[in-house]
Amino acid sequence: MLIDTYGRVATDLRVSLTDRCNLRCTYCMPEEGLQWLAKPDLLTDDEIVRLIDIAVTSLGIEEVRFTGGEPLLRPGLVGIVERVAALEPRPQMSLTTNGIGLRRTATALKAAGLDRVNVSLDTLRPDVFKTLTRRDRHKDVLEGLAAAREAGLTPVKVNSVLMPGLNDDEAPDLLAWAVEHDYELRFIEQMPLDAQHGWKREGMVTAGDILTSLRTRFELTAEGSEERGSAPAERWLVDGGPHRVGVIASVTRPFCSACDRTRLTADGQVRTCLFATEETDLRAALRSDAPDEEIARIWRLAMWGKKAGAGLDDPTFVQPDRPMSAIGG
Protein backbone atom coordinates (compact mmCIF):
# COMPACT_ATOMS: atom_id res chain seq x y z
CA MET A 1 0.00 0.00 0.00
CA LEU A 2 1.15 3.54 -0.78
CA ILE A 3 0.01 5.55 2.24
CA ASP A 4 1.18 8.95 3.47
CA THR A 5 1.29 10.52 6.91
CA TYR A 6 -2.11 12.15 6.33
CA GLY A 7 -3.82 8.79 5.77
CA ARG A 8 -4.26 9.15 2.02
CA VAL A 9 -3.79 5.96 0.02
CA ALA A 10 -2.57 6.13 -3.59
CA THR A 11 -4.43 3.74 -5.89
CA ASP A 12 -4.05 5.75 -9.14
CA LEU A 13 -0.71 5.72 -11.00
CA ARG A 14 0.08 8.29 -13.69
CA VAL A 15 2.89 7.12 -15.99
CA SER A 16 4.63 9.59 -18.30
CA LEU A 17 5.87 7.64 -21.32
CA THR A 18 7.80 10.46 -22.98
CA ASP A 19 8.57 14.14 -22.47
CA ARG A 20 8.19 14.81 -26.20
CA CYS A 21 5.14 16.40 -27.78
CA ASN A 22 4.08 17.31 -31.31
CA LEU A 23 2.25 20.45 -30.19
CA ARG A 24 3.65 23.61 -28.60
CA CYS A 25 0.77 24.75 -26.39
CA THR A 26 1.40 28.23 -25.04
CA TYR A 27 0.54 27.20 -21.47
CA CYS A 28 3.01 24.29 -21.52
CA MET A 29 6.18 25.03 -23.48
CA PRO A 30 7.92 27.65 -25.63
CA GLU A 31 7.51 27.69 -29.40
CA GLU A 32 11.00 26.30 -29.99
CA GLY A 33 10.31 23.33 -27.74
CA LEU A 34 12.49 22.03 -24.93
CA GLN A 35 15.70 20.10 -24.40
CA TRP A 36 14.31 16.55 -24.58
CA LEU A 37 15.52 13.73 -22.40
CA ALA A 38 18.27 11.64 -23.93
CA LYS A 39 17.15 8.14 -24.94
CA PRO A 40 19.37 6.37 -22.35
CA ASP A 41 17.68 8.44 -19.63
CA LEU A 42 14.20 7.22 -20.58
CA LEU A 43 12.77 4.07 -19.05
CA THR A 44 12.66 1.17 -21.49
CA ASP A 45 9.38 -0.63 -22.22
CA ASP A 46 10.48 -3.50 -19.97
CA GLU A 47 11.33 -1.11 -17.14
CA ILE A 48 7.97 0.64 -17.40
CA VAL A 49 6.07 -2.63 -17.31
CA ARG A 50 8.14 -3.89 -14.38
CA LEU A 51 7.43 -0.77 -12.33
CA ILE A 52 3.72 -0.94 -13.11
CA ASP A 53 3.76 -4.63 -12.18
CA ILE A 54 5.30 -3.77 -8.80
CA ALA A 55 2.79 -0.97 -8.29
CA VAL A 56 -0.19 -3.21 -9.11
CA THR A 57 0.84 -6.45 -7.43
CA SER A 58 2.67 -5.08 -4.38
CA LEU A 59 1.52 -1.51 -3.77
CA GLY A 60 -2.24 -1.55 -4.32
CA ILE A 61 -2.46 0.44 -7.57
CA GLU A 62 -5.85 -0.10 -9.24
CA GLU A 63 -5.77 2.45 -12.08
CA VAL A 64 -3.00 3.34 -14.54
CA ARG A 65 -3.09 6.47 -16.67
CA PHE A 66 -0.55 6.79 -19.50
CA THR A 67 0.52 10.39 -20.13
CA GLY A 68 3.37 12.34 -21.66
CA GLY A 69 4.39 14.64 -23.19
CA GLU A 70 2.34 12.97 -25.88
CA PRO A 71 2.13 9.23 -25.13
CA LEU A 72 1.14 8.31 -28.69
CA LEU A 73 4.71 9.25 -29.69
CA ARG A 74 5.99 6.27 -27.68
CA PRO A 75 6.81 3.55 -30.27
CA GLY A 76 6.08 0.69 -27.87
CA LEU A 77 2.82 2.05 -26.49
CA VAL A 78 0.48 -0.67 -27.78
CA GLY A 79 2.78 -3.40 -26.48
CA ILE A 80 3.03 -1.73 -23.06
CA VAL A 81 -0.77 -1.54 -22.84
CA GLU A 82 -1.11 -5.18 -23.83
CA ARG A 83 1.40 -6.32 -21.21
CA VAL A 84 -0.18 -4.24 -18.43
CA ALA A 85 -3.61 -5.61 -19.37
CA ALA A 86 -2.24 -9.10 -18.68
CA LEU A 87 -1.30 -8.28 -15.08
CA GLU A 88 -3.15 -9.87 -12.19
CA PRO A 89 -5.05 -8.09 -10.84
CA ARG A 90 -5.72 -6.19 -14.05
CA PRO A 91 -5.71 -2.41 -13.49
CA GLN A 92 -8.08 -0.03 -15.23
CA MET A 93 -6.15 1.74 -17.98
CA SER A 94 -6.64 5.13 -19.60
CA LEU A 95 -4.55 7.48 -21.70
CA THR A 96 -4.30 11.27 -21.87
CA THR A 97 -3.44 12.50 -25.37
CA ASN A 98 -3.63 15.51 -27.64
CA GLY A 99 -5.53 13.27 -30.04
CA ILE A 100 -3.43 13.88 -33.14
CA GLY A 101 -2.44 10.22 -33.54
CA LEU A 102 -5.67 8.64 -32.30
CA ARG A 103 -7.28 8.12 -35.70
CA ARG A 104 -4.64 5.54 -36.62
CA THR A 105 -4.12 3.97 -33.17
CA ALA A 106 -7.52 3.90 -31.40
CA THR A 107 -8.55 0.46 -32.65
CA ALA A 108 -5.19 -1.12 -31.80
CA LEU A 109 -5.18 0.44 -28.32
CA LYS A 110 -8.66 -0.86 -27.61
CA ALA A 111 -7.68 -4.35 -28.80
CA ALA A 112 -4.60 -4.22 -26.55
CA GLY A 113 -6.76 -3.54 -23.52
CA LEU A 114 -6.96 0.23 -23.08
CA ASP A 115 -10.25 1.19 -21.44
CA ARG A 116 -10.70 4.86 -22.30
CA VAL A 117 -9.03 8.13 -23.31
CA ASN A 118 -8.85 11.77 -22.27
CA VAL A 119 -8.23 14.10 -25.22
CA SER A 120 -7.06 17.69 -24.92
CA LEU A 121 -8.98 20.17 -27.06
CA ASP A 122 -9.23 23.82 -25.99
CA THR A 123 -11.21 25.34 -28.85
CA LEU A 124 -13.64 24.61 -31.66
CA ARG A 125 -12.06 27.28 -33.87
CA PRO A 126 -9.16 26.09 -36.08
CA ASP A 127 -7.52 29.53 -36.09
CA VAL A 128 -7.54 29.73 -32.30
CA PHE A 129 -6.23 26.14 -32.10
CA LYS A 130 -3.30 27.16 -34.30
CA THR A 131 -2.59 30.16 -32.07
CA LEU A 132 -2.78 28.12 -28.86
CA THR A 133 -0.79 25.10 -30.06
CA ARG A 134 1.36 26.70 -32.76
CA ARG A 135 0.35 23.83 -35.05
CA ASP A 136 -2.39 23.49 -37.70
CA ARG A 137 -3.77 20.12 -36.51
CA HIS A 138 -7.32 20.88 -35.36
CA LYS A 139 -8.91 18.53 -37.90
CA ASP A 140 -6.65 15.67 -36.77
CA VAL A 141 -7.82 16.04 -33.17
CA LEU A 142 -11.49 15.98 -34.16
CA GLU A 143 -10.89 12.85 -36.25
CA GLY A 144 -9.00 11.27 -33.37
CA LEU A 145 -11.88 11.92 -30.99
CA ALA A 146 -14.35 10.32 -33.38
CA ALA A 147 -12.06 7.31 -33.84
CA ALA A 148 -11.77 6.84 -30.06
CA ARG A 149 -15.54 6.88 -29.67
CA GLU A 150 -16.04 4.43 -32.52
CA ALA A 151 -13.38 2.09 -31.12
CA GLY A 152 -15.18 1.98 -27.77
CA LEU A 153 -12.60 3.90 -25.71
CA THR A 154 -15.44 5.36 -23.70
CA PRO A 155 -16.37 7.50 -21.96
CA VAL A 156 -14.30 9.80 -24.15
CA LYS A 157 -13.34 12.76 -21.99
CA VAL A 158 -12.29 16.10 -23.45
CA ASN A 159 -9.98 18.34 -21.43
CA SER A 160 -10.11 22.09 -22.13
CA VAL A 161 -8.04 24.95 -20.76
CA LEU A 162 -9.46 28.45 -21.23
CA MET A 163 -7.01 31.30 -21.77
CA PRO A 164 -7.85 35.00 -21.38
CA GLY A 165 -8.30 36.78 -24.69
CA LEU A 166 -8.07 33.60 -26.76
CA ASN A 167 -10.82 31.08 -26.00
CA ASP A 168 -12.33 32.26 -22.71
CA ASP A 169 -15.64 32.91 -24.50
CA GLU A 170 -16.00 29.33 -25.75
CA ALA A 171 -17.17 27.45 -22.65
CA PRO A 172 -20.89 27.23 -23.66
CA ASP A 173 -20.04 26.32 -27.27
CA LEU A 174 -17.62 23.61 -26.15
CA LEU A 175 -20.24 22.11 -23.84
CA ALA A 176 -22.95 22.15 -26.51
CA TRP A 177 -20.56 20.41 -28.91
CA ALA A 178 -19.54 17.81 -26.31
CA VAL A 179 -23.18 16.99 -25.54
CA GLU A 180 -23.94 16.65 -29.26
CA HIS A 181 -21.05 14.20 -29.79
CA ASP A 182 -21.47 12.32 -26.48
CA TYR A 183 -18.12 13.40 -25.04
CA GLU A 184 -17.66 14.26 -21.37
CA LEU A 185 -16.17 17.75 -21.17
CA ARG A 186 -13.87 18.82 -18.36
CA PHE A 187 -12.48 22.31 -17.98
CA ILE A 188 -9.08 22.58 -16.28
CA GLU A 189 -7.82 25.77 -14.66
CA GLN A 190 -4.48 26.82 -16.11
CA MET A 191 -1.77 25.61 -13.74
CA PRO A 192 1.77 26.87 -13.00
CA LEU A 193 3.47 24.14 -15.01
CA ASP A 194 4.68 26.03 -18.08
CA ALA A 195 8.33 25.73 -19.04
CA GLN A 196 8.71 29.48 -19.47
CA HIS A 197 7.28 30.21 -15.98
CA GLY A 198 4.88 32.76 -17.41
CA TRP A 199 1.85 31.68 -15.36
CA LYS A 200 0.11 34.43 -13.40
CA ARG A 201 -2.73 33.92 -10.95
CA GLU A 202 -4.07 37.36 -11.82
CA GLY A 203 -6.26 37.21 -14.92
CA MET A 204 -6.50 33.40 -15.11
CA VAL A 205 -9.88 31.94 -16.04
CA THR A 206 -11.18 30.43 -12.79
CA ALA A 207 -13.71 27.71 -12.07
CA GLY A 208 -16.12 30.43 -11.01
CA ASP A 209 -15.69 32.22 -14.34
CA ILE A 210 -16.30 28.98 -16.24
CA LEU A 211 -19.47 28.08 -14.34
CA THR A 212 -20.86 31.58 -14.70
CA SER A 213 -20.33 31.38 -18.46
CA LEU A 214 -21.89 27.91 -18.75
CA ARG A 215 -24.97 28.97 -16.80
CA THR A 216 -25.80 31.58 -19.43
CA ARG A 217 -26.96 28.68 -21.61
CA PHE A 218 -27.33 25.56 -19.44
CA GLU A 219 -28.88 24.50 -16.17
CA LEU A 220 -26.20 22.86 -14.02
CA THR A 221 -27.00 20.57 -11.09
CA ALA A 222 -24.08 19.73 -8.83
CA GLU A 223 -23.27 16.11 -8.11
CA GLY A 224 -22.71 15.26 -4.47
CA SER A 225 -19.34 14.70 -2.83
CA GLU A 226 -20.09 10.97 -2.64
CA GLU A 227 -20.32 10.83 -6.44
CA ARG A 228 -17.02 12.69 -6.77
CA GLY A 229 -14.95 10.58 -4.39
CA SER A 230 -11.26 11.22 -5.03
CA ALA A 231 -11.78 12.39 -8.63
CA PRO A 232 -10.11 15.74 -9.41
CA ALA A 233 -13.16 17.08 -11.27
CA GLU A 234 -16.23 18.54 -9.65
CA ARG A 235 -19.13 17.52 -11.91
CA TRP A 236 -22.52 18.91 -12.79
CA LEU A 237 -25.48 17.39 -14.62
CA VAL A 238 -26.26 19.37 -17.75
CA ASP A 239 -29.94 20.31 -18.11
CA GLY A 240 -30.92 17.48 -15.78
CA GLY A 241 -28.66 14.85 -17.38
CA PRO A 242 -27.57 12.39 -18.50
CA HIS A 243 -24.65 14.47 -19.80
CA ARG A 244 -22.16 15.88 -17.32
CA VAL A 245 -19.54 18.60 -17.31
CA GLY A 246 -16.58 18.75 -14.96
CA VAL A 247 -14.25 21.44 -13.69
CA ILE A 248 -10.79 20.67 -12.32
CA ALA A 249 -9.98 23.69 -10.16
CA SER A 250 -6.48 22.85 -8.95
CA VAL A 251 -5.73 26.51 -8.20
CA THR A 252 -8.92 27.99 -6.74
CA ARG A 253 -10.58 24.85 -5.30
CA PRO A 254 -7.72 22.44 -4.47
CA PHE A 255 -8.64 18.84 -3.71
CA CYS A 256 -5.38 17.71 -2.11
CA SER A 257 -7.05 16.16 0.94
CA ALA A 258 -8.64 13.47 -1.25
CA CYS A 259 -5.68 12.88 -3.60
CA ASP A 260 -5.09 9.22 -4.44
CA ARG A 261 -2.39 9.62 -7.09
CA THR A 262 1.27 8.78 -7.47
CA ARG A 263 3.27 9.74 -10.54
CA LEU A 264 6.12 8.19 -12.49
CA THR A 265 8.12 10.36 -14.88
CA ALA A 266 9.48 9.17 -18.21
CA ASP A 267 12.96 8.92 -16.70
CA GLY A 268 11.86 6.84 -13.72
CA GLN A 269 11.31 9.37 -10.96
CA VAL A 270 8.47 9.13 -8.44
CA ARG A 271 6.60 12.40 -7.93
CA THR A 272 4.18 12.54 -5.03
CA CYS A 273 2.38 15.57 -6.49
CA LEU A 274 2.11 17.30 -9.86
CA PHE A 275 3.55 20.43 -8.19
CA ALA A 276 6.31 18.68 -6.21
CA THR A 277 9.82 20.07 -6.36
CA GLU A 278 11.41 16.82 -5.15
CA GLU A 279 11.61 13.42 -6.85
CA THR A 280 12.66 9.92 -5.83
CA ASP A 281 14.77 7.91 -8.27
CA LEU A 282 13.53 4.42 -9.14
CA ARG A 283 15.51 4.13 -12.37
CA ALA A 284 18.80 3.82 -10.48
CA ALA A 285 17.37 1.00 -8.39
CA LEU A 286 16.10 -0.76 -11.50
CA ARG A 287 19.43 -0.53 -13.26
CA SER A 288 21.41 -1.67 -10.23
CA ASP A 289 19.44 -4.95 -10.23
CA ALA A 290 17.52 -4.14 -7.04
CA PRO A 291 14.83 -6.74 -6.30
CA ASP A 292 11.15 -5.82 -6.58
CA GLU A 293 10.84 -5.69 -2.79
CA GLU A 294 13.51 -2.98 -2.56
CA ILE A 295 11.93 -0.91 -5.31
CA ALA A 296 8.57 -1.19 -3.56
CA ARG A 297 10.19 -0.08 -0.29
CA ILE A 298 11.70 3.02 -1.95
CA TRP A 299 8.33 3.88 -3.51
CA ARG A 300 6.52 3.48 -0.17
CA LEU A 301 9.04 5.72 1.55
CA ALA A 302 8.64 8.40 -1.12
CA MET A 303 4.86 8.41 -0.75
CA TRP A 304 5.06 8.44 3.04
CA GLY A 305 6.68 11.87 2.77
CA LYS A 306 3.95 13.37 0.58
CA LYS A 307 3.02 16.91 1.63
CA ALA A 308 -0.45 17.90 2.81
CA GLY A 309 -1.13 20.04 -0.25
CA ALA A 310 0.31 21.57 -3.40
CA GLY A 311 0.81 24.94 -1.69
CA LEU A 312 -0.54 27.04 -4.55
CA ASP A 313 -2.14 29.40 -2.04
CA ASP A 314 1.19 29.94 -0.29
CA PRO A 315 2.82 33.27 -1.32
CA THR A 316 6.19 31.48 -1.19
CA PHE A 317 5.06 28.80 -3.70
CA VAL A 318 7.89 27.73 -6.00
CA GLN A 319 6.95 26.47 -9.45
CA PRO A 320 8.40 23.03 -10.33
CA ASP A 321 11.49 23.11 -12.52
CA ARG A 322 10.05 20.51 -14.86
CA PRO A 323 7.11 21.54 -17.08
CA MET A 324 3.94 19.54 -17.48
CA SER A 325 5.28 17.93 -20.65
CA ALA A 326 7.99 16.20 -18.63
CA ILE A 327 5.97 14.99 -15.65
CA GLY A 328 2.58 14.06 -17.07
CA GLY A 329 -0.82 15.60 -16.55
For the annotated binding site for S-adenosyl-L-methionine, the residues are 27, 69, 120, 191
Q: Is the dihedral of CA 257, 261, 264, 265 positive or negative?
A: negative
**Binding-site residues from annotation for [4Fe-4S] cluster:** 21, 25, 28, 256, 259, 273
**Binding-site residues from annotation:** 14, 21, 25, 27-28, 65, 69, 96, 120, 157, 191, 256, 259, 261-263, 273
The closest alpha carbon to 323, from 265, 262, 247, 248, belongs to: 265
Within the chain, residue ranges assigned H as helices are: 45-58, 77-85, 102-112, 126-133, 138-151, 171-181, 207-214, 225-228, 283-287, 292-304, 324-327
**Binding-site residues from annotation for GTP:** 14, 65, 96, 157, 261-263
Sorted by sequence, the CB contacts under 8 Å of residue 34 that are 6+ apart come out as 19, 195, 323, 325, 326
Q: What's the CA angle centered on 47, arms 271 and 88, to 5 degrees?
A: 90
* Number of residues written out for the chain: 329
3-state secondary structure of 233: coil
Contact assessment for residue 139 and residue 156, using Cβ atoms and an 8 Å cutoff: no
